[in-house]
Amino acid sequence: MISALLDRASRSSRSRHLVETFPLTRRVVDRFVAGETSRDAVEVAAALAASGMRVSIDVLGEDVVDGGGARRTGQAYVDLLQLLDERGLASGADVSLKLSALGRALPQGGEAMAAEHAHGICEVAASVGSTVTLDMEDHTTVDSTLRIGEQLRATFPWVATVLQSNLRRTDGDIAAVADPPARVRLVKGAYREPGTVAHERKRDVDRAYARQIEALMASGCHPMIATHDPAMLEHARASAARHGRAPGDWEVQMLFGVRTDLQRQVRDRGDTMRVYVPFGTDWYGYLMRRLAERPANVVFFLRALAGR
């Protein structure tokens, strides 16, 4: 119910305006977003590196529908990678891209434009020793994202794919993308999807997630287990041990501001911990997904909006 409301709100310009201008919003945003500028994000990356964690940095923004916006997103990634390099933080860092922020939804040649910008970002990433992950968006874009990922990997084999366990197709996608040296991030899925393409019960998503952890650990790829679910993390650890994987042969990923206690635990037991660090001013869609994942985040927020 709440997630349906938030899904509607995420597509409504009226709700967007209300939320963006609501005085209490800032507190919630600050919890999940590392600041507005690349300098803010790089400061966070430096602190995380000093505490023994890695990063994947995301320039916030999605659904860009003009060529100028797509170019600006591409340039923001280039600037970010250069700044990471200047600070000595680029090696081993990752950036996460949404192809919709690089113009994929443009009616004429959108996919080619997004692929070209992503290629340019990969060239800069390669030159500074960083890697790139293509975030996965809603189910209508999965084929296009997999296609662009495959094209990019012909030149940059370290470009990572994200697969969503809530989608019914994902077991088949694992078989298609998990050959070495693939890097694959497994997530439960943040988009509200129709039952025709996605599991509707959380129980079924969790079952798929556990099964797919096992499939990735058994494969030759580098699994990136992106979850805050302690049971899944235990399962991943046991599965990695069963398949003879050393800590550097797989990794855990979590979101900035979510379960930092668990992030420290993962690091302390010697596993690789990477934090997804979003920054920028276009935080609305990202924030709505974080609220939808966790009713406790929403209660105070909806109450505040209702009392406007």
Ligand X SMILES: Cc1cc2nc3c(=O)[nH]c(=O)nc-3n(C[C@H](O)[C@H](O)[C@H](O)COP(=O)(O)OP(=O)(O)OC[C@H]3O[C@@H](n4cnc5c(N)ncnc54)[C@H](O)[C@@H]3O)c2cc1C
Binding site for ligand X (CB under 6 A): 135-136, 162, 164, 187-191, 226-229, 253-255, 258-259, 276, 290, 293-294, 297
DSSP 252-284: EEEETTS-HHHHHHHHHTT--EEEEEEESS--H
Q: Are 55 and 34 in contact (CB under 8 A)?
A: no
SS3 at position 240? helix
Q: Which of 185, 274, 289, 290 is catalytic?
A: 185
Please state, in angstroms and rounded to a whole number, the distance separating the CA atoms of residues 118 and 78. 10
Nearer to ligand X, 245 or 259 (CB): 259
Query: Measured from the CB atom, is 67 or 169 closer to ligand X?
Result: 169
CB of 187 to ligand X, least distance (A): 3
- Does 135 participate in catalysis according to the annotation? yes
Q: What is the CA radius of gyration of the chain?
A: 18
Q: Which of residues 37 and 297 has its CB atom nearest to ligand X in the complex?
A: 297
CB of 162 vs ligand X, minimal distance in Å: 4
- Give the span between the Cα atoms of 131 and 154, in whole angstroms: 14
Residue 181, preceding peptide bond in cis (omega within 30° of 0)? yes
- Whichever of 219 and 227 has its CB closer to ligand X, that residue is 227
CB of 215 to ligand X, least distance (A): 17
Q: Which of 135, 173, 206, 282 is catalytic?
A: 135
- Cβ atoms of 285 and 40 within 8 Å: the answer is no
User: Least distance in Å: CB of 227 to ligand X?
Assistant: 3
Catalytic residues: 135, 185
